[in-house]
Amino acid sequence: MNLAYWLARAGRAIPDAPAVGFGKKTVHDYRALSIRAAKLAGGLLAMGLKRGDRVAIISKNQPDYVAIMFGIMHAGLSGVPANAKLHGAELGYILEHSGARACFVSEDMEADVSAHAPKSLEKLIRIKGPEYERLLQTGPALVAEVSGDHLAWLFYTSGTTGRPKGAMLTHRNLNWASHAYLTEVDETNTGDPILHAAPMSHGSGMYIMPHVAKGGVNVVPESGSFDPEEIFALIDKWPRMSMFAAPTMIKRLVDSSADCNADNLRTFVWGGAPMYVEDVRRALGRFGPKLAQIYGQGESPMTITKLSKREVADSAHPRWLDRIGSAGTPYSCLEVRIGGAKDNPLPAGEIGEILCRGDVVMAGYWKNEEATKKTLANGWLHTGDVGAFDEEGYLTLKDRSKDMIISGGSNIYPREVEEILLKHGKVREVSVIGRPDTEWGEVVVAYVVGDAGEKELDSLCLSNIARFKRPKHYVFVDALPKNNYGKILKTELRERDAKGVRNA
């Protein structure tokens, strides 16, 4: 089934209900939003795009994101939501690799995307620009009939090779993920709002769909950024507000001196990284029993395990502290196990790789059969994350992939940064690790062997990768720790860094 039917249904059943908010104002009701998406679909098809063609969206959060997302699906096309924080060269790779024929781009991103656009991209459409407005003048299209296996989103997720991989998410995948959210994380009704303070191209955007399915309101802050005072003001304006946030965002909200009417809050859903137990306790103290946790990844979109609001708030439970330090229990729509040799299940308490399978798991990686076979070996999604179940079925994460850094909820793979730094002629060796940080969870630290200057390396990174991926600190050393085979020992390097031993 085409998920665009959810919007078409809402346009008929609750036409006057608010659908999209911008700041404190409603900008579209469901009648207007459904017509807008249908016209965008008609315009894209009139442009010559055919079912299954990829259409990218490169934009910071804005109200039109919802109509564009559903317009692409309405036409039977496949969306490619790209992180607007990425460097132009990184976005160019995604456009080329996905084979996107068209791309919607916000005005602030247009020049950068245009400078790196591949020849395969036929149309760069500035949102709210003249061509965009012409699309909206086209007659509305009927919702395309597609199967559940039809590609809905091509979601590019970071990979250890330094190049992102495109996780193929079908209409069936997103249907299951949406229902999992509504039934096990955040009960949502007509008129219930969700605030998109995190990127709509990623985690927060996954929750656009379930809110449309239930007739909720997708609200975008006017600032386009994360500002605690603005968020609290919007919670005052929109009763029963929910929001997806990284732990660092919730910590900033807890620490803010601004007033917040917690009675208007429905749910703060945190994900992207574990939250310190003490931070959970402080958030409960300020906001009450309004916090839920999810654990997932792009390949099983936002859907592997969850910790409900009831479980997070149940301080009377004898194992409460263990529970809020865990990632919760598996969703009912998939199986999760800790895999040992040949992916055989390990008993409670034993540590191994987290594996899962079910209708929510991706169809595979776009144009990457080798990675697909490896990641989906034996019918299980191999997450690359390490963890253990306890006797009650609660999952505790022991590591997030072998070397991945999670900073402010964003995944950063060291090799990608290392490859850029090694482009400098005076860098002989480099190893990038994550250093624990109370605000960001982790910050990027580069250990460098060579004579390059910090400013030169910083400039090199800013010219090639997204700003949030560049090292926060550079440590210049005479040598890096290695084993007998010459492999750099990141574990030993992290231990040295934690002890403050920089050059031993």
Residue with tokens 């999760």: 336
Tokens for 71, please give them.
Answer: 């317009």
Question: What pLDDT is stored for residue 397 in this prediction?
Answer: 86
Below-70 pLDDT ranges, the chain? 158-162, 399-402, 483-487, 502-504
Predicted local distance difference test score (pLDDT) of residue 401: 61
Dmax (CA) for the chain in angstroms is: 69
pLDDT of residue 224: 80
3-state secondary structure of 151: strand
Helix (H, G, I), strand (E, B) or coil at 229: helix
Amino acid 502: pLDDT: 65
Is 447 in contact with 427 (CB distance < 8 Å)? no
- At 218 the pLDDT is 98
CA distance 179 to 95: 30
Q: All domains of the chain, ordered by start, with CATH?
A: 4-389 (3.40.50.12780), 405-499 (3.30.300.30)
| Token couple for 252 | 């900033």
CB under 8 Å to 40, separation ≥6 — which residues? Answer: 67, 68, 71, 72, 74, 75, 135, 136
Nearest-angstrom CA–CA distance, 130 and 112: 19
pLDDT of residue 160: 44
Residues 6+ apart with CB under 8 A from 257: none
Kindly tell me the burial class for residue 396, based on how many C-beta atoms sit within 10 Å of its own C-beta (0-12, 13-18, 19 or more).
middle
Could you tell me if 319 and 299 are in contact, meaning their C-beta atoms sit under 8 angstroms apart?
no
Q: Which residues contact 17 (CB under 8 A, 6 or more apart)?
A: 10, 29, 30, 190, 191, 215
DSSP code at position 460: H
Q: How far apart are CA 215 and CA 189, in angstroms?
A: 7
Contact 232, 221 (CB under 8 A): no
Distance linking the first and last C-alpha atoms of the chain:
60
What's the pLDDT at 232? Answer: 97
Measure the CA angle with vertex 247, ends 105 and 182; round to 5°.
Answer: 75
CA distance 397 to 65: 33
